[in-house]
Structure 1
Amino acid sequence: MSGIRAVADGLVDELKRSLPQQRKTQRGNLALLVATMLEVRSANLMDLAASLPREADRTDMRYQWIARTLSNTLIDPDAVMAPFAAEVLERAAADPDGIVLILDQSKLSDRHQVLMLAVRHGERALPLAWRVEATAGAIGFATQKELLGVVAPWVPAGAAVCLMGDRFYGTADLIALCQRRGWDYRLRLKGTLTVRDSSGRTTTAARAKSKDFYLEDVELTARRAKTNIGIIHDPGHAQPWIIAMSDNPGYGTTLAYSERWGIEPMFSDFKSRGFGIDNTQLRYPDRLARLILVMALALYSAVSTGHWDEVHHPTPAEKNI
């Protein structure tokens, strides 16, 4: 039995445990693709086809099998991810700082962008759910709301949640959504946004320039969204961090926004420094979304293997902790 087949068989058992209602053929196909991707470390379909352990002799026939699997509408990335995401969120909820969710967008190709919701895991992040769209611009609030709505039921009841987002996401709509859900948030704001409080009406950039760094219960934009704002402008940095938050603003609570950067290594794993999805020739958003599913399961498999090895084969330093 090839190494890929052996890994795939183990993944089939895990998928059967986590997804008992999914069809056997779908579990088998996903497991084989994930195992092959872990072996070749590439999202390029020709690379995958060249190493795929199937009986077809010709690479083009194996390529067609991969293309059919990625176009299978019965494979729903949200449904497949649900048990894996719920497990990692349960683990994250036990952290004293609670669950840190990170919302960000990344370019997949000249025509496609992905909106990703991930959970911080150590110094990095793990993908939870995503949406791929054929666009060159920002993916709007309607899709952001849909994505958060998918993940919210996976969060353990009563868990503390903080949503992190860059300047695409510092909007009155997203602030209001977090407030309705009872989530904390760290959303970076553009400098052009209007701020109103007892001192009058100005902009976020003007407040940063005046070194008015901690604003409580201010009204933001024409929507007059109530929020707190923390501002950090460290020496040597061209732009300040202007961060909307529900917590009392201070240097520490504002600096916590730095946890958002955990998603950047994850995107690197997906793209040129990892699996290379940005070099794929796939043209359909749904097929790209399923290719991301294969990569996400590969990352979860690698992390799970690392946790198992840490428990069963600890280094001398780990044994003493």
Structure 2
Amino acid sequence: MERARNISEFDTSQLWEEYSMIRLCVVHQGRALPLCWRVIKHRSSSVEMSSYQDMLKRASKLLPVNVKVVLLADRAFANPELVRYVWELKWQCRIRIKGNFWIYAPKHGWQTVKQLHLRLGEAKLIHNVKVHKTESKRLTDVHIAAAWESGSREYWYILSTEPTTLQTFWEYGLRFDIEENFLDDKSNGFDLESSRLRSAPAISRLCFVIALTTLFLTAQGLAVADSGYRRLVDPHWFRGLSYLKIGWNWIHTAITKNWAFLPFYSFTSYLDSHPAIASRRKHLQKLFRIEFYASTLDYAS
């Protein structure tokens, strides 16, 4: 039986094109809960590993020791140093890579992943791959999931430290929860960018307040949904708002109408048994939109 799993997302967000906020979050039911972060004065979303290595080390001490940690990261973090450090922390990872990423094919030598010649709707699951032409950066025994998605016609290349399956694409898709978390920080919630703070330590302390508030509101939203009161603040037949927004609406209404705050809720799983649905039709379109015909290759054989 597989150990309990913790899906962690790693990304950066720019503030005023002057500061970069590096954040590690834990996936929880359609949103990302902030775990640790660092704010640096940096004009680019691409940051060196020295800027976040200590943060990952601290995070490893905050997470339970008896769970399997899977780190999700975008193309800006596709470097061998991060993969090696993930192994050192005894984590796993799923990292999106660019089309010009080099892999070694036994019959063809070095080639880029975009030279895999995918057909529309095809996925190739490649195991035990050697990557990086530069010997000092080279990694062995990693795995690739590559696909050309027929709906958006977008290419997807995922580097994994575990053998890939079609499930790998779904796991990587959870990374977009952190985009919603950044949106909650900004225009969809706390309006962080309206702050007049222009000091990395001060912004980091403000992010701490936002993180605590995110936890509090999300816990309230989960408690509201679990208690059967959701439609008092989210009138959709199915859940239409995030748990954070449900909690936000509940607290606002509780203050104006003298309702009680609900007991806190335990964060138990990254899986959401009641996902937010804008409409049944759109939900079914999304649910059955992506299909692949897959082939598996083992470059070690």
Q: TM-score, normalising length from structure 1?
A: 0.64
Distance 2:66 2:175 in 1: 22
Alignment of 1:48-59 (within 5 A): none
* Consecutive unaligned residues in structure 2, runs of 5 or more: 232-273, 275-301
Is this contact kept in 1: 2:75–2:98, CA < 8 A?
yes
Q: For 1:225-240, what aligned pairs fall within 5 Å after superposition?
A: 225-226=139-140, 227-240=142-155
Give the distance between the partners of 2:165 and 2:223, measured in 1 at CA. 39
The residue type paired with residue 203 of structure 2 is L
Post-superposition Cα deviations, 1:131-156, rounded to whole Å, max 9, x if no partner, equal: 11111111211123121111001111
Q: Is 1:208–1:231's contact at 8 Å kept on the other side of the alignment? A: no
Alpha-carbon distance in 2 for matches of 1:212, 1:173: 27
Q: Is the 8 A contact 1:126 1:300 kept in 2?
A: yes
> Residues 270 and 277 of structure 1 are in contact (CA less than 8 Å); yes or no, is this contact kept in structure 2?
yes
**Cα pair distance change 1:255/1:233, threshold 3 Å:** farther
The answer to whether residue 223 in structure 2 is matched with residue 299 in structure 1 is no
- One-letter amino acid matched to 2:139: A
Q: Give the match for residue 116 of structure 2.
A: 207
> 5 Å matches for 1:249-288?
249-288=164-203
| Separation of aligned partners in 1, 2:106 and 2:207 | 48
Decide whether aligned partners of structure 1 residues 288 and 216 sit closer, same or farther in structure 2, where only a CA change above 3 A counts: same
- Give the counterpart of 1:165 among 73, 83, 87: 73
Q: How far apart in 2 are the matches of 1:208 and 1:298?
A: 47
Matched, 1:181 2:92: no
Task: Name the Cα RMSD after superposition.
Answer: 2.4
Q: Distance in 2 between matches of 1:252 and 1:279?
A: 39
Indicate the residue corresponding to 2:284 in structure 1. Answer: none
SS in 1 for 2:99: coil
Matched position secondary structure for 1:205: helix
2:6 pairs with one of 96, 99, 113: 99
Contact 2:4 2:67 in 1 (8 A): no
Equivalent residue for 2:29, pick from 99, 111, 122: 122
d(CA) in 2 for partners of 1:247, 1:314: 40
Alignment correspondent of 2:39: 132
| Separation of aligned partners in 2, 1:293 and 1:315 | 29
Structure 1 residue runs of 5 or longer lacking an equivalent are: 1-94
CA distance in 2, matches of 1:123, 1:201: 39
* In 2, Cα distance between equivalents of 1:184 and 1:292: 27
What is the number of equivalent residue pairs in this alignment?
223
Q: Which residue of 2 aligns with 1:66?
A: none
Q: Would the alpha carbon gap of residues 107 and 290 (structure 1) be closer, same or farther in structure 2, given more than 3 Å must change?
A: same
SS of the residue aligned with 1:213? strand
Indicate the percent of aligned positions where both proteins have the same amino acid.
Answer: 24
TM-score (norm 2): 0.68
Which of the two has greater strand per residue?
2
Q: Are 1:217 and 2:128 matched, yes or no?
A: yes
**The residue matched to 2:205 in structure 1 has which SS?**
helix
- Name the CA distance, whole Å, in 1 between partners of 2:230 and 2:93: 39
